[in-house]
Amino acid sequence: MALSVAVLMDPISAIKIAKDTTFAMLLEAQRRGHALFYMEQGDLAVRDGKAWARLAPLQVKEDPSGWFSLGEARWQELAGMDVVLMRKDPPVDSQFIYDTMVLSLAQRAGVTVVNDPQALRDCNEKMYALDFAQCMAPTLLSRDKGDLRRFVAEHGEAVLKPLDGMGGRGIFRVRAGDSNLNSMLETLLSGGLHSHQAEFVMAQKFIPQISAGDKRILIVDGEPVPYALARIPQGDEFRGNLAAGGRGEGVPLSDRDRWIVSQVAPELRQRGLLFVGLDVIGDYLTEINVTSPTCARELDKQFGLNIAGQLFDVIEHITLGNRAA
């Protein structure tokens, strides 16, 4: 049965289709005969307690010279859609949170929203991993500069990061005694140079196995894709993020990877987090990416998979079940 599928994303004109997981989802939905509709963050509204959106009919194709075409956008109730894919990239700022509140109204009107908007509000990608501390390396979350300095001194080498970044932005690797540590902490704690309110900073013991890659494990409705994408730092760079120049190499999941998945996956399913990316370095979980996890296209290409197809099997099952109810 054909569904109407709306996507909320960053500008489609700026994506790199060879690496864009949202694009893979759109291609798969279109291949299945579903009608696609496009919106950006400015296209949401609430009228008399109901979620509305300015939606443009969308068609996509695997063509680097022109991968999408849009029809005329018009305002309509989101309840007219069967599915909304929430694929807006971080930062998870106040506007992102407000978007999820609008999508919760659509969800209550019967729309299948992926990922669940309440879970997007509750599960900060850095902090949510702390719910599974048994899977993590030593980690401190603090607004106190002294605490953070002591953590670095205790472990000898640490990674410092803000809670709202993505793609490796704002992440520092620091050793005990580093003369730049105070400056790094001041920058992170202030959220920049012009804020006067201390912000949380996460400090994690440095994991040397980053040299073998920061593994992205994709989970579809609680089931892991059997291969991870190891994002391997290049040159002098310590960050493996593809956005920071890392090289992606597919690897089978290890026994430890599968154990970490077993710890996390049941709660992901319970929260309605249908498509999630775990970040694992060595034996340790570092982040749980719930907003717009990527790496599906690379794994599809290397191993002949169709990860978006797995996801749409689940979405169709849920949506048709909702219709029947």
Residues designated as active site: 126, 161, 216, 231, 239, 279, 287, 289
Separation between Cα atoms, residue 296 and residue 68, nearest integer Å: 19
Separation between Cα atoms, residue 33 and residue 322, nearest integer Å: 19
Contact 84, 7 (CB under 8 A): yes
User: Beta strand pairing status for 223-224 and 214-220?
Assistant: antiparallel
Look at the alpha carbons of 14, 294, 170, 141 in this order and tell me if their dihedral is positive or negative: positive
Contact 41, 88 (CB under 8 A): yes
Which residues in 56-88 are b (16+ Cβ under 10 Å) and which e?
A: bebebeeeeeebbeeeebeeebbbebbbbbbbb
Contact 82, 319 (CB under 8 A): yes
